[in-house]
């Protein structure tokens, strides 16, 4: 990610944080529509807590874009833990789609093509680190 993309992600996240509860609800609603099989992964979950954890994880990631050396180990741990939940590589694509859709809903006109590109880059970075760690865990 270039500095402008990092800045766009951080600026737009500041607009999503005040509506984080709504955004998390939108995210999971969309995820379960585009990847219905993922809903089974959350049967035993407290979805309120899950929504909070999602928003905290995104917030931490956004704030850590300038310190990737500290962020990568956190993402690797998250990727390894997700193996135990049954997360597979294809689920990352669905999550990315749900995230971008959620941001588009929450940001409205502020979700410009450069913002979409910046968030796509950020999510691609996160997903690639998590998937690599998951593959090592599964091996």
118 touches 1 (CB < 8 A): yes
pLDDT single digits (tens) 55-89: 999 999 999 999 999 999 999 999 999 988 888 89
CA 35 to chain centre: 15
Structure confidence at residue 85 (pLDDT)? 86
Q: At what angle do helices 20-34 and 89-107 cross, to 10 degrees?
A: 130
Q: Can you list the domains of the chain with their CATH numbers?
A: 3-138 (1.10.490.10)
**Phi, psi (deg, nearest 5) at residue 13:** -65, -35
> Percent helix, strand, coil in the chain (nearest 5)?
85, 0, 15
* Radius of gyration for the alpha carbons in the chain, expressed in angstroms and rounded: 14
Instruction: Output the average pLDDT for the chain.
Output: 95
């Amino acid at each position: 990610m270039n500095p402008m993309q990092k800045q766009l992600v951080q600026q737009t996240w500041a607009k999503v944080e005040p509506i984080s509860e709504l955004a998390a609800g939108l995210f999971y609603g969309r995820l379960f529509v585009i990847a219905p099989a993922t809903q089974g992964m959350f049967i035993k979950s407290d979805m309120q807590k899950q929504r909070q954890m999602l928003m905290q994880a995104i917030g931490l990631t956004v704030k850590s874009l300038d310190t990737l050396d500290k962020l990568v180990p956190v993402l690797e741990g998250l990727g390894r833990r997700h193996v135990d939940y049954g997360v597979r590589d294809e689920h990352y694509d669905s999550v990315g789609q749900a995230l971008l859709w959620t941001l588009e809903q929450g940001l409205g006109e502020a979700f410009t093509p450069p913002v979409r590109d910046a968030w796509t880059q950020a999510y691609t970075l996160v997903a690639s680190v998590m998937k690599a760690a998951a593959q090592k865990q599964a091996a």
